Structure 1
Amino acid sequence: MQYKWIALTNTTICILMASLDANILIIALPRLVPDLHVSLIETIWIILSYGLVTTSVLLSFGRLADMFGRVKLYNFGLILFTIASFLCSLAQTGPELILFRIIQALGAAFLFSNSAAILTDAFDAKERGKALGLNQVSIVIGSALGLVLGGILTETLGWRAIFWVNIPIGIFAIIWSRAKLRELGSIVKGKIDWTGNLVLVAGLTLVMFGITFGSLQVVNFLGAILILSGGFSLLALFGYVESKVKEPMFDLSLFKNRFFSAGNVTIFLNSLARGALVLIMAFYLQGPSMHLSPFTAGLYLIPVSFTIATFGPISGWLSDRYGSKLLTVTGLLLSAVGFLVLSQIGAKTSFDGLVLPLSLVGAGMGLFASPNRSSIMNSVPPQRRGVAAGMSTTLVTLGNIMSLGMSFALIASTVPLSELESIFLGSSGQTESEATIASFMSSIHIIFYISTVVLLVSIIPAMMNRSQKEHVIY
């Protein structure tokens, strides 16, 4: 097998595994919560901690990859992720599971920040879009497939099995990676931007604390505002710090490149729009009106995974020949239409009623992902691809966690706290009041309307990319 296909296969399997674990717990929460006696705030942070940690460290890990070798740090992340998956399966309390998820997220961050750069080094420009497309599609497939696989494993073997599946795959990938992957990129000397990293971590953490603590009334309204103000102030300070340090981890100078800027703004808005989809659909399907089992709820979400897997590789192949603009715009439009249809769903919906909107959303994701990522990576010189990959993936994960946090806050502002606990902790009865169901559905409709608008807005920066590939930097 040619080296480029070895690199593609290994990184795609590992990225699929890491992204799958971002959502796989959501479908299992109704079974996990009573087993570990988890509170509502712990439940939310079991979900958020993975994305928050990944977002916080991706940039520094991208810098480390340029300094010490992408394959070396990729292998380390794979080992860390596999060990952490085993620890997650042994967790006995909510805080223990959160801690092990944080370790798992650190491993995932090494994988996310290095896979695209490894592939960009391994493939020439004529095939790069196809390779990056398959790899990028594995992220969104994993996010959607996590719900299906999580439902099956939870129903048949229990919630701990959702972590067992990572262990044999991880061991195989570790052996294969250490034996076959090799360094092709340039090693660049530099320093870690510790100041910027600490400010970013503190800012993101305070923002998410403010959203979750305020929504669950852990702190009063004034306390939530103060926490949020502190978080956003630190994020603003992060931008200032990165503009002043000699070797920033978030290299603002790359945004002077029109194509890099357009691709990253688009990918952030796309993630912001779709990041909460799986969370919303999981709790809708298992919630106060549908009452589906984890297994059945997972089956209802198959159209998303299927269409992503179908259209993702096709879009990568087409982007290598015809450029990215038409494909990314078409993908965003399809997803927007899908979310608009979802904003009209009723309290009870059949599988047939969800096939069309979920298929449109999935097809849009598949068409968008690979051309957009290829455009970003092609716009920077080879020695900057580690940082560029880390920056773009950071914006994806940042959009996802912001989408989750804001969607949860919107639901919490609409549904009474006592009813919210029953929905998220899996204790909903079969006879919820019409008012509870109505408020829950109203919040879902609003979230999907907002997603539609954000996707339509994201078409503006997507139009800034050229139709052809004359902006590729070798």
Structure 2
Amino acid sequence: MEYKYMVLVNTTLASFMSFLDSNIVVLALPTIVRELLGTSAFDGVWIILGYSIVAAVMLLTLGRFGDIFGRVKMYNLGFAVFTVGSALCSVSPNGATLVGFRIVQGLGSALIFANNNAILTDAFPSNERGRAIGINQVVGIMGSVVGLTIGGVLTQTLGWRSIFWINIPVGGFSTVWAYFRLRELSVQAHIREGVDVLGNLLFAPGVGFILYGLTFGAFSGWGVYDAVITGIGLILTVLFVYAQKRMVYPMMDLRLFRNRVFSSGIIANLFSSIARGGVTLNLSIFFQGVLLYDAYRAGILMLPYSLAFVAAGPLSGYLSDRYGPTRFVTAGLIVGSVGLALLAVFSSTPSPAYPHLVVGMILSGAGNGMFVAPNIASIMNSVSPTRRGVASGMATLIYNVGSLFSISLIFVVLATVAPRSELQDLFAGLPVQGDLNSVVFGRGVSMVYALMGAFNLLALAPLILRLKR
């Protein structure tokens, strides 16, 4: 097999495994909360977010490590850590332990995805990168499809622990394969620059505190504690930016933002990730918590969204290689916004017709698929080979941070329409009590989709400004 295709297959397996894991956990969350000893709805939230927060906070650091010590080395280590974390999750004795092992998984995911796009970009020529990244992203979304189809089956037949077993053979095989067959292709592995210790000490707690405050403010009612935590995070983040301007070898190369293509692509990625990051969770809340379907049926009903993404992604990536990314990125954002608007309208009704929801899911999924690959390709093509590790880490970081904000948006909006005690049950996938509460929560879900659509349209702004300059 030609080396570039070997890289494509291996990095695509990594994407598949990660997306598979995320959707299965979302669907299995109600069962975990009910069956795992000492697991509250609050623990259930952390089972999802503990993984994502660690993955987001560590991305830049590990992308930098990839530039310095070798992308393939960091990538291989990530596969091993993720696989071990999955095995540990499957034997967790209580909720707190499961949260801890999910954090281990998050660390492995960060190691993988901080270097995934850079390794792929190194292996393919510029005129093939959009298609390669599109295939990588789409197969990853196929992992979501598989997760939706088998997650409920595994949970109901073999128990929730079985959802983590899937990662072990896939991760083990990919770890060994990557170790023996992948190689460093560019000069990053030979650079021996210093590590930005101060930047790491400021960035990790800064972003972590901000995400914690925003995410759990809805649970505490936005009290003094949440405000203080968020404020500390903001201060640390400002200090981080200040320090980065003065470092010889910064963790985040702010000079990249002078590149108009890079900066507009990153900002568009942020707004788009806020729009799409919580879609699957919002659908799960609606089908399981509001309409009272079980995990298996909910997963099947959510398939049109992921299938539409899978169908649109590679085609958009291929066409963007031939005709340029701008028109496909723009069309994707517009189509996705229309889909989210339709979901907002249809989910606000007490008994929505499923075909109507399907139209919204297909349009939003297809729009997201059209956007992702061309946008990532334009970001990666805009930087020099020696900075692709940092650029890859920054792009993935922005997606994760935006997704976390998207999830926190669900909290905030639903907290405005119902008591927080019921919100915790709903977020954990437990059914709400009474017809009135179902209607109220349905309207809350509708408000979330409306805001997501607005953020998707905001993603057009930096792209339009780039064209006008």
Letter aligned with residue 117 of structure 1: A
Q: Distance in 2 between matches of 1:102 and 1:417?
A: 26
How does 1:319-338 map onto structure 2 within 5 Å?
319-338=320-339
Match of 1:405 among 384, 390, 408: 408
In structure 1, stretches of 5+ residues that fail to align are 468-474
Counterpart in 2 of 1:35?
A: 35
1:116–1:31 CA distance, 2 compared to 1 (3 A): same
Q: Distance in 2 between matches of 1:12 and 1:308?
A: 16
Match of 2:358 among 355, 358, 367: 355
In structure 2, stretches of 5+ residues that fail to align are none
Q: Distance in 2 between matches of 1:215 and 1:29?
A: 19
How does 1:365-376 map onto structure 2 within 5 Å?
365-376=368-379
Partner of 2:194: helix, strand, or coil?
A: coil
Partner of 1:90: helix, strand, or coil?
A: coil
Q: Distance in 2 between matches of 1:300 and 1:420?
A: 23
Counterpart in 1 of 2:84?
A: 83
- Normalised by the length of structure 2, the TM-score is 0.94
Q: Distance in 2 between matches of 1:432 and 1:422?
A: 13
Partner of 1:59: helix, strand, or coil?
A: helix
Q: Distance in 2 between matches of 1:19 and 1:427?
A: 23
Q: Distance in 1 between matches of 2:383 and 2:108?
A: 26
Q: Distance in 1 between matches of 2:143 and 2:201?
A: 29
Q: Distance in 2 between matches of 1:412 and 1:338?
A: 24
Q: Does 1:240 align with 2:213?
A: no
Q: Distance in 1 between matches of 2:324 and 2:17?
A: 29
Counterpart in 2 of 1:470?
A: none
Per-residue Cα deviation, 1:181-209 (whole angstroms, up to 9, x for no partner)? 11101122212222222222212222233
1:75 touches 1:174 (CA, 8 Å); kept in 2? yes
Partner of 2:186: helix, strand, or coil?
A: coil
Match of 1:256 among 254, 258, 263: 258
Q: Distance in 2 between matches of 1:465 and 1:315?
A: 21
Partner of 2:459: helix, strand, or coil?
A: helix
2:122 touches 2:185 (CA, 8 Å); kept in 1? yes
Q: Distance in 2 between matches of 1:440 and 1:383?
A: 49
Counterpart in 2 of 1:222?
A: 224
Match of 1:271 among 258, 270, 273: 273
How does 1:113-192 map onto structure 2 within 5 Å?
113-143=114-144, 145-186=146-187, 187=189, 188-192=191-195
Match of 1:420 among 423, 428, 452: 423
1:236–1:115 CA distance, 2 compared to 1 (3 A): same
Q: Distance in 1 between matches of 2:285 and 2:44?
A: 13
1:343 touches 1:449 (CA, 8 Å); kept in 2? yes
How does 1:174-213 map onto structure 2 within 5 Å?
174-186=175-187, 187=189, 188-213=191-216
Q: Distance in 1 between matches of 2:376 and 2:342?
A: 27
Deviation at 1:145, TM superposition (A): 4.9
2:219 touches 2:420 (CA, 8 Å); kept in 1? yes
Partner of 1:343: helix, strand, or coil?
A: helix
1:43–1:432 CA distance, 2 compared to 1 (3 A): same
Q: Distance in 1 between matches of 2:445 and 2:383?
A: 39
Partner of 1:246: helix, strand, or coil?
A: coil
How does 1:371-390 map onto structure 2 within 5 Å?
371-390=374-393
- Normalised by the length of structure 1, the TM-score is 0.93
Letter aligned with residue 363 of structure 2: L
Deviation at 1:78, TM superposition (A): 0.5
2:215 touches 2:405 (CA, 8 Å); kept in 1? no
Q: Bigger CA drift: 110-119 or 413-422? A: 413-422
**In angstroms, what is the RMSD of aligned CA positions?**
1.8
1:328 touches 1:367 (CA, 8 Å); kept in 2? yes
Q: Distance in 1 between matches of 2:257 and 2:138?
A: 24
1:50–1:138 CA distance, 2 compared to 1 (3 A): farther
Q: Distance in 1 between matches of 2:142 and 2:273?
A: 14
Counterpart in 1 of 2:58?
A: 57
Deviation at 1:329, TM superposition (A): 0.4
1:199 touches 1:238 (CA, 8 Å); kept in 2? yes
Q: Bigger CA drift: 290-299 or 441-450? A: 441-450
- Tell me the number of residue pairs that the alignment of Structure 1 and Structure 2 aligns: 463
Per-residue Cα deviation, 1:53-87 (whole angstroms, up to 9, x for no partner)? 01111101111111111111111111111111010
Counterpart in 1 of 2:452?
A: 451
Per-residue Cα deviation, 1:272-291 (whole angstroms, up to 9, x for no partner)? 11111111110110013x11
1:148 touches 1:301 (CA, 8 Å); kept in 2? no
Q: Distance in 1 between matches of 2:447 and 2:261?
A: 32
Q: Distance in 2 between matches of 1:146 and 1:243?
A: 42
Letter aligned with residue 191 of structure 1: G
1:212–1:454 CA distance, 2 compared to 1 (3 A): closer
1:144–1:239 CA distance, 2 compared to 1 (3 A): farther
1:323 touches 1:466 (CA, 8 Å); kept in 2? no
Deviation at 1:178, TM superposition (A): 1.9
Partner of 1:248: helix, strand, or coil?
A: coil
Deviation at 1:426, TM superposition (A): 4.2
Q: Distance in 1 between matches of 2:90 and 2:213?
A: 29
What percent of counterpart residues are identical? Answer: 40
Q: Distance in 1 between matches of 2:126 and 2:215?
A: 44
Partner of 2:185: helix, strand, or coil?
A: coil
Counterpart in 2 of 1:4?
A: 4
1:147 touches 1:278 (CA, 8 Å); kept in 2? no
2:45 touches 2:428 (CA, 8 Å); kept in 1? no
Q: Distance in 2 between matches of 1:104 and 1:15?
A: 14
Q: Distance in 1 between matches of 2:118 and 2:109?
A: 15
Partner of 1:244: helix, strand, or coil?
A: coil
Counterpart in 2 of 1:396?
A: 399
Deviation at 1:258, TM superposition (A): 0.5
2:67 touches 2:390 (CA, 8 Å); kept in 1? yes
Letter aligned with residue 223 of structure 1: Y
Q: Bigger CA drift: 34-43 or 122-131? A: 34-43
Per-residue Cα deviation, 1:94-135 (whole angstroms, up to 9, x for no partner)? 110111011111111111011111111111111111112222
Partner of 2:445: helix, strand, or coil?
A: helix
2:41 touches 2:425 (CA, 8 Å); kept in 1? no
Deviation at 1:459, TM superposition (A): 0.9
Letter aligned with residue 398 of structure 1: V
2:341 touches 2:449 (CA, 8 Å); kept in 1? yes
